[in-house]
Structure 1
Amino acid sequence: MDRRRFINLLAAIAAITVFGFTFGLMFPLLSLIMESRGIAPQWIGYNAAMHPAGIVLSVFAIPYVVSRFGAKKAVIGAGLVTASVIVSYPFFPVFWWWFGFRVMQGFFVSILFAISEAWIVRFSEGAWRSRILALYTSILALSFGGGPAIIGLTGIEGALPFFVGAAVLLFAILPIFFVKDEEVDSEDETPLSVIAFARKEPVLLFAVGMFAILDAANLSFLPVYAVKKGFDQDMAALALTAFVLGNTVLQFPIGWCADHFPKRWVMVGCGVLSGTGSFLVPFVFGTWALWPVLTVMGATAAGIYTVALAELGERFSGHELVTGTASFSTMWGLGALVGSLAAGWSIAGFGPDGLPFTMAAVFMVFVASATVSAIRVRRPAR
């Protein structure tokens, strides 16, 4: 890897992982604030769903924005607007301002995330691609885990946690000034449309969507679930930290498997472990076994995304790669929309344990579909 590519890769990873800290803070923070104010779980779910709704709205704008302004300017502008939205939350009532803010946050975060992730996928090319992407996912998970942990220091009252989140996000913009993506910024061809990309890679998009359902449901509702099961707010936030921190240990082995075995079968294995872990949560809650179960469940769910990114990078480059990561963001948004709503409905309709059982059922559907895909593809390992 040449020096310029290495610097670009480090800068892009630094930016997106610092951003991940803010992202990991905002989801549980908003949910816990609304829960403390007595807002019903289904309404917390509706509010959480506004974030992925904004992501879905942004996907058709991303190829145009990159073509019109350039990748670097688009990321910097999106980061500044997102920070402004974050500091606005504590000064406006939940209904209906927070719903609009979360749509805006999702829209601009998607621009920042899709472009930065396209850089990471492209600059990590080579035989170690899956392991480099696994390392990136591990670092990103660590930053996600740091977000909920901050709640224990700042609490959920007042403007302080929001200002901390906005300040950290502004730091995420700084490494972007060191990135130069000549391949995208110099191309003049018409960007591949999202619909055209979906026709080329429906299985990868489906995998991202299934992962997003579990990811968003737990980011939004795992702390609420833990409170309803008897944890205090600090312990509830740590439960979410355990869910995301497993990636720091287990993502690299998953990446190694994806570099040596058919990627579709690696996805199947990750789906089996994630679904089984979710099913076990109600049975191990309150015991020491809860923590490793949450860790493995979160790590293997994220592993599906890691493997999908690696396969994406093998097939696309330039504007098509940006459109691919934007399409991934869209599927994450759609999946997160379903996950947020399903989580709120499952808790309201079946009690707290409805959440993990519903997520287990979702992953069984994914395992079945991914198995069919793996049998058909039989793609040789690199």
Structure 2
Amino acid sequence: MDRQRIINLLAAISAITVFGFTLGLMFPLLSLIMEREGIPSQVIGYSAALQPLGIVLSVFAIPPMVRRFGAKVVVLGAAVMTALVIVSYPFLPIFWWWFGLRILHGFFVSTLFAISEAWIVKFSEGPWRSRILALYASVLALSFGGGPLLISFTGIDTAAPFLIGAVILLVATIPIFFVKDEEVDSEDEAPLSVFGFIRKAPILLFAVGMFAIIDAANLGFLPVYAVKKGFDNEMAALALTAFVIGNTVLQFPIGWLADHIPKRVVMLGCGIATAVASALIPTVFGTPLLWPVLTVAGAASAGIYTVSLSELGDRFSGHELVTGTASFSTTWGGGALLGSLMAGWSIAGFGPDGLPY
């Protein structure tokens, strides 16, 4: 693997880290602040759903932006705009400014994700692809866990988590300056369209959508659930960290299984494990068993995405592979929007335990 390809991969993984960290930070942070202010769960759900809406909308804007300015410039611009959005939250009122900010937040972070994941897929070709994708999945999972962990140290009563998050975001984008900004040819526009991919991989997109529903519901509402069940804000943030940190350790075992038995079997097993672990959460809440159950639930749900991405790489290459990564991103946005709404409705209608059930 040549030096420039390694630089491009490191830069892309850095940008993916930004994506994971900012989502892992902002989903629970904003939900906890709104919960503290006495805002109903339905409204928190509507607010959380606007960030995935921004992700979906970004698909229609990314192609012309990349065509006009180049991928590297677009990624750097998206990082700066994401940082500006983040630092705006604590200085603007929740109604109605936060609703618009969350759409912008989803839009710019998704731009980082779609282009960076396309870079990872493109520059990881060859015998190192599986290991690079495993590293990518682990880094993404770890970055998600870093967000709520930061909340456990800073709390939610000051602008500190917002300012720290914005600084970390900007620092993580520095390697992108060293990416060789290749010209985008006419084929680079199509990968950012979803519709042509649906007929070829409907089950993969369904799996990604299910993961997104589970992921967004827990990112946005697991801390709220924990507070309603008696945890303080710091412990509630750690509950979310336990949920997302498990798949950092378990990505490689899940990938190993997917390399030795049919991927669809592993995907189904991850789905069953997620359902069982989620159903156990109310039973074990307040006991030491809560933490491993949350870890298993998070690892198994993320395993659905990991195995889906692995099968995508097995079945598609070149142009179609990049089309798949963009389709995954868009499907995640739609599923996350639905997951946020469903979580808010469930908690409002059935109480806190409506979330895991």
Answer yes or no: same fold by TM over 0.5.
yes
Tell me the residue number matched to 1:158. 158
Question: How far has the Cα of 1:324 moved from its partner?
Answer: 2.5
Name the CA shift for 1:5/1:315 in 2 (closer, same or farther; >3 Å): farther
Contact 2:67 2:184 in 1 (8 A): no
Code of the residue aligned with 1:203 in structure 2: it is I
Question: How far has the Cα of 1:63 moved from its partner?
Answer: 2.8
The answer to whether the aligner puts 1:86 opposite 2:86 as a matched pair is yes
Question: How far has the Cα of 1:186 moved from its partner?
Answer: 4.4
Tell me the residue number matched to 1:348. 348
The answer to whether the aligner puts 1:299 opposite 2:299 as a matched pair is yes
Question: How far has the Cα of 1:135 moved from its partner?
Answer: 2.4
Contact 1:131 1:252 in 2 (8 A): no
Q: What CA deviation, in whole Å up to 9, does each residue of 1:164-186 have, x standing for no partner? A: 1111111121111222364xx34
**TM-score, length basis structure 2:** 0.94
Name the CA shift for 1:162/1:238 in 2 (closer, same or farther; >3 Å): same
SS of structure 2 residue aligned to 1:254:
helix
Contact 1:267 1:303 in 2 (8 A): yes
The answer to whether the aligner puts 1:278 opposite 2:278 as a matched pair is yes
Question: How far has the Cα of 1:189 moved from its partner?
Answer: 3.3
Name the CA shift for 1:5/1:263 in 2 (closer, same or farther; >3 Å): farther
Contact 2:59 2:330 in 1 (8 A): yes
Code of the residue aligned with 1:296 in structure 2: it is V
- Give the alignment partner of residue 187 of structure 2, picking from 171, 186, 189: 189
Tell me the residue number matched to 1:378. none
* 1:1-382 pair list within 5 angstroms: 1-126=1-126, 129-180=129-180, 182=182, 185-189=183-187, 191-192=189-190, 193-317=193-317, 320-357=320-357
Q: How many percent identity over aligned positions?
A: 74
Name the CA shift for 1:124/1:303 in 2 (closer, same or farther; >3 Å): farther
CA distance in structure 1 between the partners assigned to 2:258 and 2:3 by the alignment? 26
CA distance in structure 1 between the partners assigned to 2:189 and 2:262 by the alignment? 30
CA distance in structure 1 between the partners assigned to 2:120 and 2:300 by the alignment? 21
SS of structure 2 residue aligned to 1:266:
helix
Q: Runs ≥4 in structure 1, deviation > 6 angstroms? A: none
Code of the residue aligned with 1:65 in structure 2: it is M
Q: What CA deviation, in whole Å up to 9, does each residue of 1:328-366 have, x standing for no partner? A: 111111111111011111111111111101xxxxxxxxx
Code of the residue aligned with 2:326 in structure 1: it is A
Task: Name the stretch that deviates more: 10-19 or 199-208.
Answer: 10-19
Name the CA shift for 1:304/1:96 in 2 (closer, same or farther; >3 Å): same
CA RMSD of aligned residues (A): 1.8
Q: What CA deviation, in whole Å up to 9, does each residue of 1:202-223 have, x standing for no partner? A: 2211111100000000000000
Question: How far has the Cα of 1:24 moved from its partner?
Answer: 1.1
CA distance in structure 1 between the partners assigned to 2:186 and 2:139 by the alignment? 34
CA distance in structure 2 between the partners assigned to 1:190 and 1:330 by the alignment? 16
CA distance in structure 1 between the partners assigned to 2:337 and 2:129 by the alignment? 30
Question: How far has the Cα of 1:120 moved from its partner?
Answer: 1.6
Contact 2:79 2:170 in 1 (8 A): yes
In structure 1, stretches of 5+ residues that fail to align are 358-382
CA distance in structure 1 between the partners assigned to 2:327 and 2:177 by the alignment? 25
CA distance in structure 2 between the partners assigned to 1:247 and 1:168 by the alignment? 22
Contact 2:19 2:110 in 1 (8 A): no
Question: How far has the Cα of 1:47 moved from its partner?
Answer: 0.3
Contact 1:19 1:172 in 2 (8 A): no
SS of structure 2 residue aligned to 1:88:
helix
**TM-score, length basis structure 1:** 0.88
Code of the residue aligned with 1:271 in structure 2: it is G
Code of the residue aligned with 1:173 in structure 2: it is T
Code of the residue aligned with 1:201 in structure 2: it is A
Tell me the residue number matched to 1:375. none
Contact 2:121 2:322 in 1 (8 A): no
CA distance in structure 2 between the partners assigned to 1:110 and 1:259 by the alignment? 29
Question: How far has the Cα of 1:296 moved from its partner?
Answer: 0.9
Contact 1:121 1:310 in 2 (8 A): no
Name the CA shift for 1:261/1:130 in 2 (closer, same or farther; >3 Å): farther
CA distance in structure 2 between the partners assigned to 1:254 and 1:124 by the alignment? 20
Contact 2:83 2:170 in 1 (8 A): yes
Code of the residue aligned with 1:82 in structure 2: it is T
Contact 1:19 1:168 in 2 (8 A): no
